[in-house]
Amino acid sequence: MLTNIPIMIRSLAFNVFFYLGTFFAAVLGIVLVPIPTPVLLRGLLHYWARAVVWGMRWIGGMKIEFRGLEHLPSAGPTLLAGKHHSECDGILLAARLPGIAFVAMQELFRYPLIGTILYRLQMIRVDTCGGGKERENLAQFAKRAYDNRRFIAIYPEGNLMAPGERERYRSGIFYLSRDLDLPVTPVATSVGLVWNRRDLWKKPGRAAIEFLPAIETGLDKHAFMRRLEEATESASDRLIAEFSGRPYTPSQLVLRSQGQAGIGAPLTVPRATP
Protein backbone atom coordinates (compact mmCIF):
# COMPACT_ATOMS: atom_id res chain seq x y z
CA MET A 1 0.00 0.00 0.00
CA LEU A 2 2.87 2.37 0.84
CA THR A 3 4.28 2.01 -2.68
CA ASN A 4 1.03 3.47 -4.05
CA ILE A 5 1.30 6.70 -2.03
CA PRO A 6 3.55 8.61 -4.49
CA ILE A 7 1.26 7.57 -7.35
CA MET A 8 -1.81 8.76 -5.45
CA ILE A 9 -0.11 12.08 -4.61
CA ARG A 10 0.75 12.66 -8.29
CA SER A 11 -2.77 11.76 -9.31
CA LEU A 12 -4.27 14.06 -6.67
CA ALA A 13 -1.99 16.92 -7.71
CA PHE A 14 -2.94 16.45 -11.35
CA ASN A 15 -6.66 16.31 -10.51
CA VAL A 16 -6.41 19.61 -8.66
CA PHE A 17 -4.53 21.14 -11.59
CA PHE A 18 -7.00 19.73 -14.10
CA TYR A 19 -10.27 20.65 -12.40
CA LEU A 20 -9.17 24.12 -11.29
CA GLY A 21 -7.71 24.84 -14.71
CA THR A 22 -10.88 23.61 -16.41
CA PHE A 23 -13.05 25.75 -14.14
CA PHE A 24 -11.10 28.93 -14.89
CA ALA A 25 -11.01 28.08 -18.62
CA ALA A 26 -14.81 27.64 -18.56
CA VAL A 27 -15.29 30.99 -16.82
CA LEU A 28 -13.07 32.69 -19.38
CA GLY A 29 -14.93 30.82 -22.11
CA ILE A 30 -18.25 32.26 -20.94
CA VAL A 31 -16.71 35.74 -21.13
CA LEU A 32 -15.68 35.06 -24.74
CA VAL A 33 -19.05 33.61 -25.82
CA PRO A 34 -20.65 36.97 -26.78
CA ILE A 35 -17.80 37.80 -29.17
CA PRO A 36 -19.19 37.43 -32.72
CA THR A 37 -16.41 35.16 -33.97
CA PRO A 38 -15.60 31.81 -32.28
CA VAL A 39 -11.90 32.15 -33.17
CA LEU A 40 -10.83 33.32 -29.68
CA LEU A 41 -12.89 30.62 -28.00
CA ARG A 42 -11.33 27.96 -30.22
CA GLY A 43 -7.91 29.32 -29.32
CA LEU A 44 -8.81 29.03 -25.64
CA LEU A 45 -9.85 25.39 -26.16
CA HIS A 46 -6.57 24.62 -27.91
CA TYR A 47 -4.31 26.20 -25.30
CA TRP A 48 -6.34 24.78 -22.40
CA ALA A 49 -5.93 21.33 -23.98
CA ARG A 50 -2.20 21.89 -24.37
CA ALA A 51 -1.99 22.89 -20.70
CA VAL A 52 -3.81 19.68 -19.71
CA VAL A 53 -1.38 17.59 -21.78
CA TRP A 54 1.52 19.40 -20.09
CA GLY A 55 0.00 18.60 -16.69
CA MET A 56 -0.53 14.98 -17.64
CA ARG A 57 3.17 14.67 -18.49
CA TRP A 58 4.87 16.73 -15.80
CA ILE A 59 2.43 16.42 -12.90
CA GLY A 60 0.63 13.11 -13.45
CA GLY A 61 3.51 11.29 -15.13
CA MET A 62 1.36 10.33 -18.15
CA LYS A 63 3.44 10.57 -21.32
CA ILE A 64 1.38 10.31 -24.51
CA GLU A 65 2.97 9.64 -27.91
CA PHE A 66 1.41 10.63 -31.21
CA ARG A 67 2.08 8.15 -33.98
CA GLY A 68 1.14 7.90 -37.64
CA LEU A 69 1.17 11.65 -38.19
CA GLU A 70 2.09 10.96 -41.81
CA HIS A 71 -1.47 9.63 -42.25
CA LEU A 72 -2.97 12.87 -40.98
CA PRO A 73 -3.74 15.50 -43.64
CA SER A 74 -2.00 18.82 -43.07
CA ALA A 75 -5.34 20.67 -43.10
CA GLY A 76 -9.08 20.04 -43.04
CA PRO A 77 -11.71 19.25 -43.86
CA THR A 78 -10.87 15.81 -42.49
CA LEU A 79 -12.90 13.08 -40.79
CA LEU A 80 -11.38 11.28 -37.81
CA ALA A 81 -13.01 8.21 -36.21
CA GLY A 82 -11.48 7.36 -32.87
CA LYS A 83 -11.43 4.71 -30.19
CA HIS A 84 -12.86 6.21 -26.99
CA HIS A 85 -11.13 5.17 -23.75
CA SER A 86 -11.08 8.31 -21.71
CA GLU A 87 -12.37 11.81 -21.06
CA CYS A 88 -8.97 13.02 -22.23
CA ASP A 89 -9.25 11.54 -25.75
CA GLY A 90 -10.78 14.71 -27.13
CA ILE A 91 -8.43 16.88 -25.09
CA LEU A 92 -5.41 15.21 -26.67
CA LEU A 93 -6.80 15.75 -30.17
CA ALA A 94 -7.70 19.37 -29.39
CA ALA A 95 -4.13 19.97 -28.19
CA ARG A 96 -2.77 18.61 -31.47
CA LEU A 97 -5.35 19.98 -33.92
CA PRO A 98 -6.44 23.62 -33.37
CA GLY A 99 -10.04 24.35 -34.25
CA ILE A 100 -11.14 20.71 -34.25
CA ALA A 101 -14.91 20.05 -34.25
CA PHE A 102 -16.20 17.15 -32.17
CA VAL A 103 -19.38 15.19 -32.65
CA ALA A 104 -20.80 15.20 -29.11
CA MET A 105 -23.86 13.76 -27.43
CA GLN A 106 -26.72 16.24 -27.32
CA GLU A 107 -26.96 15.75 -23.54
CA LEU A 108 -23.70 17.70 -23.12
CA PHE A 109 -25.30 20.74 -24.75
CA ARG A 110 -27.89 20.88 -21.96
CA TYR A 111 -25.36 21.69 -19.22
CA PRO A 112 -25.56 25.42 -18.41
CA LEU A 113 -21.90 26.42 -18.85
CA ILE A 114 -20.56 23.62 -21.02
CA GLY A 115 -23.54 23.64 -23.37
CA THR A 116 -23.25 27.36 -24.03
CA ILE A 117 -19.55 27.04 -24.86
CA LEU A 118 -20.11 23.98 -27.07
CA TYR A 119 -22.76 25.84 -29.05
CA ARG A 120 -20.45 28.81 -29.56
CA LEU A 121 -17.58 26.53 -30.58
CA GLN A 122 -19.93 25.13 -33.24
CA MET A 123 -19.45 21.57 -32.09
CA ILE A 124 -21.68 18.95 -33.72
CA ARG A 125 -24.48 17.60 -31.53
CA VAL A 126 -25.95 14.18 -32.13
CA ASP A 127 -28.55 11.89 -30.58
CA THR A 128 -26.83 8.53 -30.04
CA CYS A 129 -30.16 6.77 -30.64
CA GLY A 130 -29.64 7.59 -34.32
CA GLY A 131 -32.29 7.27 -37.00
CA GLY A 132 -32.94 8.98 -40.32
CA LYS A 133 -33.80 12.37 -38.83
CA GLU A 134 -30.67 12.34 -36.70
CA ARG A 135 -28.53 11.52 -39.73
CA GLU A 136 -29.95 14.62 -41.42
CA ASN A 137 -29.10 16.76 -38.37
CA LEU A 138 -25.61 15.29 -38.20
CA ALA A 139 -25.00 16.01 -41.88
CA GLN A 140 -26.29 19.59 -41.51
CA PHE A 141 -24.07 20.49 -38.54
CA ALA A 142 -21.05 18.67 -40.00
CA LYS A 143 -21.42 20.55 -43.29
CA ARG A 144 -20.73 23.80 -41.45
CA ALA A 145 -17.48 22.37 -40.06
CA TYR A 146 -16.65 21.02 -43.53
CA ASP A 147 -17.17 24.44 -45.11
CA ASN A 148 -14.84 25.95 -42.50
CA ARG A 149 -12.21 23.32 -43.36
CA ARG A 150 -12.05 21.92 -39.83
CA PHE A 151 -10.95 18.53 -38.59
CA ILE A 152 -14.09 16.63 -37.54
CA ALA A 153 -13.75 13.94 -34.86
CA ILE A 154 -16.37 11.34 -34.03
CA TYR A 155 -16.34 8.35 -31.65
CA PRO A 156 -18.39 5.68 -33.45
CA GLU A 157 -18.92 3.53 -30.34
CA GLY A 158 -20.79 6.35 -28.63
CA ASN A 159 -19.53 5.24 -25.22
CA LEU A 160 -16.36 5.32 -23.16
CA MET A 161 -14.86 1.84 -23.24
CA ALA A 162 -12.21 0.33 -20.96
CA PRO A 163 -9.03 -1.00 -22.61
CA GLY A 164 -9.82 -4.39 -24.12
CA GLU A 165 -13.51 -3.58 -24.62
CA ARG A 166 -15.41 -2.48 -27.69
CA GLU A 167 -18.98 -1.41 -28.40
CA ARG A 168 -20.89 -1.84 -31.64
CA TYR A 169 -19.86 0.85 -34.12
CA ARG A 170 -22.65 3.28 -35.11
CA SER A 171 -23.00 3.98 -38.80
CA GLY A 172 -23.17 7.79 -38.52
CA ILE A 173 -19.53 8.02 -39.57
CA PHE A 174 -20.33 6.13 -42.81
CA TYR A 175 -23.06 8.61 -43.73
CA LEU A 176 -20.78 11.54 -42.90
CA SER A 177 -18.07 10.14 -45.13
CA ARG A 178 -20.56 9.48 -47.92
CA ASP A 179 -22.37 12.82 -47.71
CA LEU A 180 -19.21 14.92 -47.41
CA ASP A 181 -17.23 12.72 -49.83
CA LEU A 182 -14.34 12.52 -47.37
CA PRO A 183 -12.11 9.56 -46.50
CA VAL A 184 -11.96 8.62 -42.82
CA THR A 185 -8.78 8.44 -40.75
CA PRO A 186 -9.16 5.82 -37.96
CA VAL A 187 -7.57 6.76 -34.63
CA ALA A 188 -6.37 4.02 -32.29
CA THR A 189 -5.38 4.55 -28.67
CA SER A 190 -4.12 2.97 -25.46
CA VAL A 191 -4.72 6.08 -23.32
CA GLY A 192 -7.12 4.14 -21.08
CA LEU A 193 -4.10 2.46 -19.51
CA VAL A 194 -3.15 5.71 -17.76
CA TRP A 195 -6.49 7.56 -17.67
CA ASN A 196 -9.31 5.06 -17.88
CA ARG A 197 -12.93 6.06 -18.38
CA ARG A 198 -14.27 8.04 -15.42
CA ASP A 199 -11.37 6.99 -13.17
CA LEU A 200 -10.58 9.51 -10.45
CA TRP A 201 -7.09 8.12 -9.92
CA LYS A 202 -4.74 8.39 -12.87
CA LYS A 203 -1.71 6.15 -13.41
CA PRO A 204 1.72 7.38 -14.45
CA GLY A 205 3.05 5.63 -17.52
CA ARG A 206 3.21 5.74 -21.29
CA ALA A 207 0.48 5.40 -23.90
CA ALA A 208 -0.08 6.38 -27.52
CA ILE A 209 -2.57 7.76 -29.99
CA GLU A 210 -2.03 6.44 -33.51
CA PHE A 211 -3.47 7.81 -36.74
CA LEU A 212 -4.03 4.99 -39.23
CA PRO A 213 -4.19 4.99 -43.05
CA ALA A 214 -7.40 6.58 -44.28
CA ILE A 215 -10.34 4.51 -45.47
CA GLU A 216 -11.24 5.65 -48.97
CA THR A 217 -14.66 6.77 -50.08
CA GLY A 218 -16.90 4.68 -52.32
CA LEU A 219 -17.20 1.57 -50.14
CA ASP A 220 -20.62 0.18 -49.31
CA LYS A 221 -21.80 0.52 -45.73
CA HIS A 222 -20.97 -3.03 -44.64
CA ALA A 223 -17.45 -2.98 -46.10
CA PHE A 224 -16.72 0.47 -44.68
CA MET A 225 -17.90 -0.35 -41.15
CA ARG A 226 -15.98 -3.62 -41.15
CA ARG A 227 -12.77 -1.91 -42.30
CA LEU A 228 -13.14 0.84 -39.71
CA GLU A 229 -13.81 -1.48 -36.79
CA GLU A 230 -11.10 -3.98 -37.64
CA ALA A 231 -8.46 -1.32 -38.23
CA THR A 232 -9.27 0.68 -35.08
CA GLU A 233 -9.69 -2.27 -32.75
CA SER A 234 -6.67 -4.23 -33.99
CA ALA A 235 -4.36 -1.21 -33.71
CA SER A 236 -5.74 -0.29 -30.27
CA ASP A 237 -5.27 -3.88 -29.06
CA ARG A 238 -1.69 -3.78 -30.34
CA LEU A 239 -0.97 -0.52 -28.52
CA ILE A 240 -2.51 -1.86 -25.31
CA ALA A 241 -0.28 -4.95 -25.50
CA GLU A 242 2.81 -2.82 -26.20
CA PHE A 243 2.32 -0.35 -23.36
CA SER A 244 0.93 -2.77 -20.77
CA GLY A 245 3.49 -5.50 -21.41
CA ARG A 246 0.69 -8.06 -21.68
CA PRO A 247 0.19 -10.44 -24.63
CA TYR A 248 -1.92 -9.22 -27.53
CA THR A 249 -5.56 -9.94 -26.71
CA PRO A 250 -8.44 -9.11 -29.08
CA SER A 251 -11.04 -6.79 -27.57
CA GLN A 252 -14.38 -8.10 -26.37
CA LEU A 253 -17.78 -6.80 -27.30
CA VAL A 254 -19.39 -5.07 -24.32
CA LEU A 255 -22.79 -3.51 -24.94
CA ARG A 256 -23.23 -0.51 -22.65
CA SER A 257 -25.95 1.28 -24.55
CA GLN A 258 -29.45 1.42 -23.09
CA GLY A 259 -31.90 -0.90 -24.80
CA GLN A 260 -29.26 -3.55 -25.51
CA ALA A 261 -27.72 -5.53 -22.66
CA GLY A 262 -28.25 -2.59 -20.32
CA ILE A 263 -25.69 -0.63 -18.32
CA GLY A 264 -24.44 -2.74 -15.43
CA ALA A 265 -25.28 -6.02 -17.18
CA PRO A 266 -22.87 -6.08 -20.13
CA LEU A 267 -22.80 -8.89 -22.65
CA THR A 268 -19.27 -9.96 -23.60
CA VAL A 269 -18.43 -11.92 -26.73
CA PRO A 270 -14.86 -12.75 -27.83
CA ARG A 271 -13.75 -10.90 -30.96
CA ALA A 272 -12.00 -12.84 -33.68
CA THR A 273 -8.23 -12.46 -33.92
CA PRO A 274 -7.31 -10.22 -36.86
Q: What are φ and ψ of residue 105, in 5° steps? A: -60, 140
How far is Cα 126 from Cα 130, in angstroms, rounded to an integer? 8
Share of the chain above pLDDT 90, in %: 65
Write the pLDDT tens digit of every residue in 135-185. Answer: 777 777 788 889 889 999 999 998 889 999 999 999 889 999 999 999 999
Indicate if the pLDDT at residue 132 is higher than 80. no
**pLDDT for the residue numbered 256:** 74
**pLDDT for the residue numbered 133:** 61
Query: Three-state SS across the chain?
Result: CHHHHHHHHHHHHHHHHHHHHHHHHHHHHHHHCCCCCCHHHHHHHHHHHHHHHHHHHHCCCEEEEEECHHHCCCCCCEEEEECCCCCCHHHHHHHHCCCCEEEEEHHHHHCHHHHHHHHHCCCEEECCCCCHHHHHHHHHHHHHHHHCCCEEEECCCCCCCCCCEECCCCCHHHHHHHHHCCCEEEEEECHHHCCCCCCCCCCCEEEEEEECCCECCCCCHHHHHHHHHHHHHHHHHHHHHHHHCCCCCCCEEECCCCCCCCCCCCCEEECCCC
Write the pLDDT tens digit of every residue in 12-31. Answer: 999 999 999 999 999 999 99
**pLDDT for the residue numbered 127:** 65
pLDDT band at 267 (very low <50, low <70, confident <90, very high): very low
